[in-house]
Amino acid sequence: MHISVVGSGYVGLVAGACFADLGHEIILVDNDQLKLSALKSGAVPIHENFLPELVARHRGKRLNFSGDLSEAVRASSAIFIAVGTPATDQGDADLSYVESVAREVAGAINGYKVVVEKSTVPVYTSNWIRTVMSRNGAAPDSFDVASNPEFLREGTAVTDFLYPDRIVLGADHERCASLLREIYQPLTSGDYYRRQHAIPKPDRAHIPPTLLVTSAKSAELIKHASNAFLAMKVSFINAVASICESVGADVEQVRQGIGSDSRIGPRFLNPGIGYGGSCFPKDLAAFRAVARECGYDFRLLDEVIRINEEQRHLFLRKVRSALWTLKGKHLGVLGLAFKGGTDDIRESPAILLIQTLLQEGCSVAAYDPAATERAREVLSSKVEFASSPYEAAAGADALLILTEWDEFATLDLHRLYSKLQYPIVVDGRNLYDPQIMTAHGFTYYSVGRQTIPPESQVVAAAAAGRKSKPKNR
């Protein structure tokens, strides 16, 4: 199948490379010339497992890059729109990029085409695309508009695309549904998974994936509702974590207890400093705005968002209770990305927290395995960027853990202890067992679990044969 994918951001680039791996002929279209020439020369602008392999495998063969949308449309049966839908100041999605693509596609139509929304868009967008295309001269029987939402996560985008839990095809007509079925046939038939060079199956993947054919409006809602539900799970456990702290319970035990109920499931129940990224914050605001426009006041979403913001304030309060005053304190920070496994810092709670700490007069030395370059562009020159967790910790009054990178969960605790000015760790991602941290001489704060007070720490540290007093700078 000849396919155009418009927009070479996260979704577009991953979808284009994966469609090529399924065996389709792909033209990836972007109007950013710099990005295009980087892609044409083999650069992969995002940090994503298996993406460099796929781009190298198909670039110049089944995966080509172009700035000419009209030409790409003429050469394709399906056009996937994967351009940005940023939030406006009012929180709803700015669909002007989608509209201008629809206009240009309409002008280039030379036979039946399926136009597919791949970007996350509010319900009714498929109707609008249809209207815009008709207004711009596309004959009604020359195209269909479908919604095929993408559920990939950053960091595991390629395997999420190729081993999805479900494929949702929102198509209002059979002709369009059958063309989309054909595109995904290598996955739904299981054929792709038998190929010698298939990207390896991740744990937990069910193959072949479930295929759901729905109306376009239902598909649009499935995407927004899925992200809102996942964000709600995160805010729910964060709220439970606050209660755990008040009553002296352990949120990790509570989480295990809740998550063992197969109706609830254990995933997306990790407490922390709140969700971030380019999707949840934007999609919740957009879904809330869509609901309001449709006459439904979705106050549950307001609360999910409020709890998420509150979570950062609670973390700051913890840093204060560990250090008393903040002005003039030097902090080591582990993590800049909005979650582990990515270099993306958009809406990263770590960045927001660092900015607040700087405003409070702290100095910061930060380390992240992938996101340093991006963070350098947004953080003030007051932040020092370290080249290892231990360098970030060196001489710090406390160490803050802000991103759930695997690397941060396996630190050499003796080495870490020897680097810090005071053995204080404030962990926003619950990467360590409090008892182990205490046994290593740390005063350890985490989320939804008790902090063992310094007095008992002296005893514990003495038992572990370690010093617990502040060290000289």
x-marked contacts with ligand UGA along 115-134 as a string, rule CB under 6 A: -----x--------------
Instruction: Check binding of 251 to ligand UGA (CB under 6 A).
Output: no
Least distance between ligand UGA and beta carbon 269 (Å): 6
How many residues in the chain?
473
Instruction: Check binding of 416 to ligand UGA (CB under 6 A).
Output: no
Q: State whether the Cα torsion 420-426-430-436 is positive or negative.
A: positive
Closest CA to 156 of 219, 200, 221: 200
The span from the CA of 337 to the CA of 285, in Å, is 21
Instruction: Give the one residue of 22, 230, 289, 396 binding ligand UGA; rule: CB under 6 A.
Output: 230
Stretch binding ligand UGA (CB under 6 A), from 77-85, 87-95, 273-281, 446-454: 273-281
Q: Which is nearer to ligand UGA, 76 or 227 (CB)?
A: 227
Least distance between ligand UGA and beta carbon 464 (Å): 31
Q: DSSP secondary-structure letter at 382?
A: T
| b/e burial code for range 9-21 (CB count within 10 A of at least 16 → b) | bbbbbbbbbbbbb
Residues 146-175 that bind ligand UGA (CB under 6 A): 150-154
Q: Which is nearer to ligand UGA, 172 or 343 (CB)?
A: 343
Q: Which residues are catalytic?
A: 279
- One-letter amino acid at 80 equals F
Q: Which is nearer to ligand UGA, 335 or 441 (CB)?
A: 335
Instruction: Check binding of 279 to ligand UGA (CB under 6 A).
Output: yes
Instruction: Give the one residue of 268, 316, 355, 356 binding ligand UGA; rule: CB under 6 A.
Output: 268
Measure CA 458 to chain center: 40
Instruction: Give the one residue of 234, 350, 416, 452 binding ligand UGA; rule: CB under 6 A.
Output: 234
Least distance between ligand UGA and beta carbon 401 (Å): 12
Instruction: Check binding of 112 to ligand UGA (CB under 6 A).
Output: no
Instruction: Check binding of 14 to ligand UGA (CB under 6 A).
Output: no
Q: Are strands 443-445 and 424-427 parallel, antiparallel or unpaired?
A: parallel
Instruction: Check binding of 339 to ligand UGA (CB under 6 A).
Output: yes
Stretch binding ligand UGA (CB under 6 A), from 67-75, 166-174, 278-286, 361-369: 278-286
Stretch binding ligand UGA (CB under 6 A), from 80-88, 271-279, 362-370, 377-385: 271-279
* DSSP H/E element including 212: strand 210-214
Contact 24, 1 (CB under 8 A): yes
Contacts with ligand UGA: how many residues (CB under 6 A)? 21
CA dihedral 262, 264, 268, 272 (to 10 degrees): -120
CA dihedral 126, 181, 219, 275 (to 10 degrees): -110
x-marked contacts with ligand UGA along 280-319 as a string, rule CB under 6 A: x--x------------------------------------
- Structure tokens that stand for 324 in this block: 């008393």
Q: Which is nearer to ligand UGA, 278 or 438 (CB)?
A: 278
Classify burial at 367, counting beta carbons within 10 Å of its beta carbon; exposed 0-12, middle 13-18, buried 19 or more. Answer: buried
Q: Which is nearer to ligand UGA, 276 or 332 (CB)?
A: 276
The span from the CA of 160 to the CA of 51, in Å, is 12
CA dihedral 455, 460, 461, 465 (to 10 degrees): 140
Residues lying near ligand UGA in the complex (CB under 6 A): 120, 150-154, 227, 230, 234, 268-270, 272, 275-277, 279-280, 283, 338-339
